[in-house]
Chain A
Amino acid sequence: MNIRDIEKLAALSRIDLQEGEKKSLLAEMGAILNYVNQVKEAAAFAADNMEEKPYSRNIWREDANPHESGIFTDVLLASAPARHGQYIKVKKIL
């Protein structure tokens, strides 16, 4: 990993990094990745088809009985940094 990789990751993460931080992040991330690399030696002993029975599974509710439209709009919009009527205001993308 080098400084350019850090810059690329920051861009992918949508984080504006200060110059000074790039260097320290490079060293820290190197150390952390080196540590977590241990999983590779353990995983060598894992059978491909090994799957422990999950304790829980995702259960979707029926797509029915929606709440009345608009009843939460005002309280949610009150948190938005910029608002235009009943909409959140955003800058144009293109």
Chain B
Amino acid sequence: MDLTTLTIKKAHDHLIKGDFSVRELTQAYLENIEKKNKNLNAYLEVFDDCLDQADEADKRLKNEKDNFMLGVPMAFKDNMLIKGRNVSAGSKILEGYKATYDAGVIKKLKEAGTILLGRTNMDEFAMGTSTENSAYGVTKNPHDLSRVPGGSSGGSAAALAANLTLGALGSDTGGSVRQPASFCGVVGFKPSYGRVSRSGLIAMASSLDQISPFAKTVEDAEIIYNIIKGKDPQDSTSLDIKDEIYKSKSKMKIGVPFHFINEGTEQAVLDNFNQSIKKMQDLGHEVIPITIPNIKYSLAVYYIIVPAEVSSNLARFDGVKYGLHKDGQDLLADYLLTRGEGFGKEVRRRIMLGTYVLSSGYYDAYYGKANQVKNLLKADFRKTFEEVNFVMTPTSPTVAFKIGEKASDPLALYLADIFTVPANITGLPSISIPSGFALTDGKKLPLGLQFTAPFLAESSLFEIAKQFEKLNG
């Protein structure tokens, strides 16, 4: 069994043919985890009942030949609730906490017979772009152990890239799946906002959070997405809408906002991106320079809306209902000590920023303005998609950076999400696919190409991404 070339689709075919069992497949991943996780710190916990889950899946195989997720081992970012199991969101404030119900996506994957391998490392409460903000140590990039895997879903991306799982879930609020996918050389796909239930996802910024799959191929990402998508009564923002059917054309129009890309992007990333443009043209598509007037404000909008929602969402961690409790002289002192010790530095910083931008006197100047610009940006994209079918950019302006390189400068870390944030602000579906490598310090570091499509146009996004993937080899 060669795990490096195995995909969900191939594993399914092998399982149906009886080339190996789910138990043997699961065992192979557990052995790899045993060998490699110590160095990578991708998993925070590997569940002790994986082989029992595998035996159950093996029993179902004969009768469920069209169930592609049956028996597929998967890893989960540690902000998705799995009933009865620990979940920490990468924070000390939830150390030892056990989930009391299954997240919507977990429910669906359990029903499908997916093997839940374990929970993966992440920036605390998904706040970060490098997984350095975890309270449980940094995760390392499998392509170069001195570099970050990206973030905040860095553990899931690293686990998949190192063949410690066959698929993974993360959550993407500003690029937290696409950017680590790019850094680790795998596919990361953020669906339209509302496509996938957020029930049981520990909230960071509820209006932007979206659970998103990592996979080795676009087809695998689509297989995972098809299981987890859909209306969930437990999430009132989940959509009950059928897929938009886009008529596929052999010649698509692909818009590139050069005005946004050329500034501050590493040369190696630009060179690779220009090659990708050539490849899209070779496929017969038209690549058109476009202007998205307000796109440069996306990150500023993001760092107002996110802290605002963070300060509200994280008010629930008070040392009273669950999680860490630090005892002070009175109830107020309990709150102050619990939250002061339980939250890490970046989380404290964002809660305070959110408190500031929402405070009376500043609310209109920050939160009100951010929402106005959010609307401008949505209008920009609506007009853009009257002209072109997709918007194409690099996923990240840089290759994976060194651990510690940007740790002392929060704003520099925020800029790692510059190309991914617009899709979250606008709610649009967006995918990152491997587009090659940059040779840096003697190491081959992966690069990613990002396509963004109109709202609900997931099917056309998969199609264009598959075309690129096929040509890119």
Assembly CA distance A50 to B345 (angstroms): 37
Closest chain-B Cβ to A20's Cβ sits at a distance in Å of: 11
Among B297, B331, B355, B365, which residue has its beta carbon within 8 angstroms of that of A9? B355
Closest chain-B Cβ to A29's Cβ sits at a distance in Å of: 6
Assembly CA distance A24 to B359 (angstroms): 21
A50-74 contact mask (Cβ, 8 Å, vs B): 1 or 0: 1110011011110000000000100
Chain B contact-residue range equals 35 or more
Assembly CA distance A40 to B142 (angstroms): 41
CB–CB B300/A15 < 8 A? no
CB–CB B304/A51 < 8 A? no
**Known interface pairs A46-B373, A55-B427, A88-B321. Does A15 touch B352 (Cβ–Cβ under 8 Å)?**
yes
**Known interface pairs A16-B339, A50-B376. Does A31 touch B100 (Cβ–Cβ under 8 Å)?**
no
A25-46 contact mask (Cβ, 8 Å, vs B): 1 or 0: 1001101110111111011011
The residue of chain A having its C-beta at the shortest distance from the C-beta of B317 within the complex is: A14
Q: Tell me if B46 is interfacial: C-beta within 8 Å of chain A.
A: no
Among A17, A33, A90, which residue has its beta carbon within 8 angstroms of that of B320? A90
Among A45, A46, A51, A81, which residue has its beta carbon within 8 angstroms of that of B319? A81
Q: Tell me if B411 is interfacial: C-beta within 8 Å of chain A.
A: yes
Question: Chain B residues with Cβ under 8 A from A79's Cβ?
Answer: 97-98, 100, 321-323
Assembly CA distance A42 to B378 (angstroms): 13
Closest chain-A Cβ to B138's Cβ sits at a distance in Å of: 20
Q: Tell me if B334 is interfacial: C-beta within 8 Å of chain A.
A: yes
Closest chain-A Cβ to B102's Cβ sits at a distance in Å of: 13
The residue of chain A having its C-beta at the shortest distance from the C-beta of B341 within the complex is: A16
Q: Tell me if A4 is interfacial: C-beta within 8 Å of chain B.
A: no
Question: Chain A residues with Cβ under 8 A from B98's Cβ?
Answer: 78-79
Closest chain-B Cβ to A53's Cβ sits at a distance in Å of: 9
Closest chain-B Cβ to A70's Cβ sits at a distance in Å of: 14
CB–CB A39/B370 < 8 A? yes
Assembly CA distance A16 to B136 (angstroms): 22
Which of A6, A45, A56 gathers the greatest number of chain B CB atoms within 10 Å?
Answer: A56
Interface of A is mostly: loop
Assembly CA distance A36 to B343 (angstroms): 24
**Known interface pairs A29-B352, A81-B320. Does A36 touch B366 (Cβ–Cβ under 8 Å)?**
yes
CB–CB A50/B379 < 8 A? yes
Q: Tell me if B139 is interfacial: C-beta within 8 Å of chain A.
A: no
Closest chain-B Cβ to A69's Cβ sits at a distance in Å of: 17
Question: Chain B residues with Cβ under 8 A from A72's Cβ?
Answer: 100
Which residues 351-376 of B sit at the A interface, judged by CB distance below 8 A?
A: 351-353, 355-357, 359, 365-366, 369-370, 372-373, 375-376
Closest chain-B Cβ to A18's Cβ sits at a distance in Å of: 8
CB–CB A92/B336 < 8 A? no
Q: Tell me if B337 is interfacial: C-beta within 8 Å of chain A.
A: yes
Among A17, A55, A91, which residue has its beta carbon within 8 angstroms of that of B340? A17
CB–CB A50/B236 < 8 A? no
Assembly CA distance A35 to B352 (angstroms): 16
Question: Chain B residues with Cβ under 8 A from A36's Cβ?
Answer: 300-301, 303-304, 357, 366, 370
Closest chain-B Cβ to A43's Cβ sits at a distance in Å of: 4
Closest chain-B Cβ to A87's Cβ sits at a distance in Å of: 11
In the complex, 20 of the A-B residue pairs with CB atoms within 8 angstroms, ordered by the A residue number, are A6-B352, A10-B352, A15-B343, A16-B337, A16-B341, A18-B340, A25-B349, A36-B357, A38-B300, A42-B372, A42-B373, A45-B376, A52-B378, A52-B379, A78-B98, A79-B100, A80-B322, A81-B323, A90-B331, A91-B330
- State the 6 A-B residue pairs at the shortest beta-carbon distance, nearest first: A16-B340, A81-B325, A79-B322, A16-B336, A46-B372, A52-B378
If A42-B376, A81-B323, A93-B331 are given as contacts, then 12 extra A-B residue pairs at C-beta distance below 8 Å, sorted by A number, are: A14-B336, A15-B351, A18-B340, A21-B345, A25-B352, A35-B299, A36-B370, A40-B365, A42-B294, A52-B382, A60-B236, A61-B233
State the A residues within 8 Å of B (CB): 6, 9-10, 12-18, 21, 25, 28-29, 31-33, 35-40, 42-43, 45-46, 50-52, 55-56, 58-61, 72, 75-76, 78-82, 88, 90-93
